[in-house]
Structure 1
Amino acid sequence: MTRRWAVNASPIITLTKIGRVDLLIQLCDELVIPQGVADEIQNGGYNDPAVNWIRNEGQKYIKLVDRIAPQVASWDLGMGESHVMSWLITHPDFEAIIDDRAARKAAAILGLSVRGTVSIIAMAKREGYISSARDEYEKLVNVGFRISTDVLLKALKLADE
């Protein structure tokens, strides 16, 4: 199965903070960072590890989104989320990597495939890219990622832990 992902800012920011942005590249066959997402990240500050990554290695994954799809615009989401979902509308073989609750709800209603940072880590564990999902989830929490106990328990089960 070919994996094609369009990634929003939050997963990139969070995964760079814990030193695991490599999982996005390792786990999928084609990675796209819509220009609006790259712009959001670069507006975050010069010392942010995601800014450094997007300006260097991440550059090759940035793609222009010509316009925000009307059905996406009606949700009044952020620029990054809107660009990711607009990419999916014109590229239906892609899956969105988004953590934002409102954007995930909009994607579900629009029939777009979506997963988040938590499931990326579970997938990485199941496929042998990391030895412990629990350790990575702990790192996420330590850098300010919010995850409920219920979601964490479900994620650990998905990760076979």
Structure 2
Amino acid sequence: MSRKWVINASPTIALAKISQIGLLSKLCSEIVIPQGVVQEIECGPENDPARIWLAEGGSAWIREVSQIDPEIANYNLGLGESEVMAWAYHHAGFEAILDDRAAKNAARMLGIPVRGTIGIILLAKQEGRVSQVKPLLYQLVQQGLRVSPSVLEAALKLVNESG
């Protein structure tokens, strides 16, 4: 396994809330969490599972991003999204893990490989790390991940769990 991921706040928060944050280290060989993402997560409540995870084992993956290129800054995204994209832009082989639609579109325009939280869950099923996707996707929605019903249905069809 040689996947390398640079992860934004939303996927980190969402996976931690449904007790699946461990999938990150099971599905990829190298994880980076930019300092700007950490700042966003630390603005959350003290009992937030992602904040707790960062204070414990997740801190090993925190990295500084020295600059955000003008071509990334021009998209006017949040600090976390911009740092995730900057890292992936400058470090070949990294995939940006983002949920924000504007950030995903910007990443694609810049040639940065991108995947979201749902993509991580689908990959986990594909690799036998989770037995069912449907309950996890519904937990994500209950925890506030905004996903259209058509995207949910398409994801479930991909793993033969629709209906």
- Residues 1:127 and 2:127 aligned together: yes
Contact 1:118–1:137 (CA under 8 A) maintained in structure 2? yes
1:3-44 CA deviation, whole Å, 9 max, x = no partner? Answer: 000000000001110000111111011111011111111112
**Hey, what's the Cα distance between the residues in 2 that align with 1:70 and 1:16?**
32
Conservation of the 8 A alpha-carbon contact between 1:6 and 1:32: yes
Unaligned runs of 5+ in 2: none
Distance 2:83 2:50 in 1: 18
RMSD: 1.0
8 A Cα contact 1:69 1:89, kept in partner = no
Aligned position for 2:146: 146
- What is the Cα deviation at residue 81 of structure 1? 0.2
Q: CA deviation at 1:138?
A: 1.1
Query: Given the two structures, how large is their TM-score scaled by the length of structure 1?
Result: 0.96
Number of residue pairs the alignment of both structures matches: 161
Deviation per residue, 1:76-104 (Å, 9 max, x gap): 10000000000011102100000001101
Distance 1:46 1:128 in 2: 33
Q: Structure 1 residue 146: deviation in Å?
A: 1.6
Distance between the aligned counterparts of 1:58 and 1:71, measured in 2?
Answer: 29
**What TM-score, normalized by structure 2, do the two folds share?**
0.95
Say whether the 8 Å CA contact 1:126–1:160 is kept in structure 2.
no
Distance 1:111 1:74 in 2: 15
Which ranges in structure 1 are unaligned for 5 or more consecutive residues? none
Residue 61 of structure 1 corresponds to 61
Task: Letter of the 1:137 partner, please give it.
Answer: L
Provide the residue aligned with 2:89 in structure 1.
Answer: 89
Aligned partners of 2:21, 2:86: CA distance in 1, in Å? 23
What is the distance in 2 between the residues matched to 1:55 and 1:42? 10
TM-superposition CA deviations, 1:108-153 (whole Å, max 9, x none)? 1111100100011011011111110001101111111121121112
1:32 corresponds to: 32
